[in-house]
Structure 1
């Protein structure tokens, strides 16, 4: 368990959410918000967050869509406890279960309408965290196909997987979809206009037979570079990252 002096108190969605996160090791940021913004869940449906960490993606989704049935799978007990603490703090009921997605705990062996996931990822040329006890330490060696397969097993027929990952992993993600997942759409995430996307959001439906779609990039920052100490989000990104909006129309 993390001690209080090992945690930071972070604002998400312009303060709509307050999350405790470890000062060192794995920390959620914009990826969790964008993942939640791309999930097409509606009130009354169930959502499973694979590798939920401290609960950022689940709680961002809960802030946008009320009355969802939330569950999270987390490998590391300290992060699982932190996710429970953050959920209670923000008044959201989340069933957080400790376990490995390669051996799904019995408590989560049921159908969900949606599965969301933010698997461990390092940019090309990047380095892994020096923290040996980070939340995803033991999952880092798992191929993305394992994440997709675990999601497919937990999805109800017609259920939707929403996953954020490195753009360089796209070939592996797409090859992992068959035979259970289809109707795939990929949204590239570009830091700035004209920059090559480093991240993508994949959406796919269990049993879907629609054509694959590669969507126009979602651009996060304005201008060619940072000008001063400010975020410089595009209006579209600002509506998501600060105001808690969704990016569902981009997948329509």
Structure 2
């Protein structure tokens, strides 16, 4: 193993991903996002800002036969994503605001995105440059949503995971371009406010807005010990690669 990379198990060992030892490292967020995607074999999937490929490849491990494409602007992460996915994953090194023509000419059944969470106008930048690129917003969130909507085929779905405080902006921007919008809040524990949301919208969708019951991630009302405390439903996603239905 390289001195600068680790090979980490996801989905209970069903998937292994090369990741940098330092910088941004994929956690549970892209795994949970992928678990909510109701894809079927043959669907075309685009992962915007794919990093090392965690979301797309977790989805591909659960649903065989998908056509997976990722876009990542950092060459180091794009290279690792390609190595992680091999021939089953087309990885394009590009900024999402400057997609190459062969991506702009295509439509996708599902677009996934785990954009940078933090506006640097009201938060402090990370010291590590690669980590800052992954966490600190440079491209406005509105552009992520607009680009995702453009790349969707009719009746296709956009899937986002983000901080709950950005939900008003997500709903505003999705509402301009997508319909049938659904929100799944993610709460760390019983009695705690949600910190993340997974939001799904459909191109040409006409369904009513739906706000789902929060998904509780951990057992107990507070952290008491360093152990695996995920509730069974979440543990099935993280350890067994199960789907997570809204």
**TM-score, scaled relative to structure 2:** 0.94
Distance 1:168 1:140 in 2: 14
Select between 160-169 and 228-237 the one with higher mean Cα deviation: 228-237
Change over 3 Å in CA distance of 1:133–1:140 after alignment to 2: same
Query: Aligned with 2:96: secondary structure?
Result: coil
1:115 corresponds to 2:117: no
**Would you tell me which structure has more helix in proportion to its own residues?**
2
Name structure 2 gaps, 5 residues minimum. none
Q: Deviations over 1:152-194 (max 9, x none)?
A: 1100011000110000000000110133211100000000011
1:85 corresponds to 2:83: yes
1:47 corresponds to 2:45: yes
Name structure 1 gaps, 5 residues minimum. none
Instruction: Give the one of 85, 96, 101 matched to 2:96.
Output: 101
Paired position in structure 1 for 2:7 = 9
Total equivalences in the alignment: 244
Q: Deviations over 1:33-69 (max 9, x none)?
A: 0010011111111000000000111110011000000
Alignment of 1:205-244 (within 5 A): 205-244=202-241
**TM-score, scaled relative to structure 1:** 0.92
In angstroms, what is the RMSD of aligned CA positions?
Answer: 2.0
1:167 corresponds to 2:169: no
Paired position in structure 2 for 1:64 = 62
Select between 128-137 and 51-60 the one with higher mean Cα deviation: 128-137
* Cα drift, residue 5 of structure 1: 0.8
- 2:24–2:134 CA contact under 8 A, matched in 1: no
* Cα drift, residue 228 of structure 1: 2.4
Distance 2:10 2:177 in 1: 34
Query: Aligned with 2:98: secondary structure?
Result: coil
* Cα drift, residue 141 of structure 1: 1.7
Paired position in structure 2 for 1:130 = 127
- 2:52–2:77 CA contact under 8 A, matched in 1: yes
Distance 1:198 1:233 in 2: 16
* Cα drift, residue 219 of structure 1: 0.7
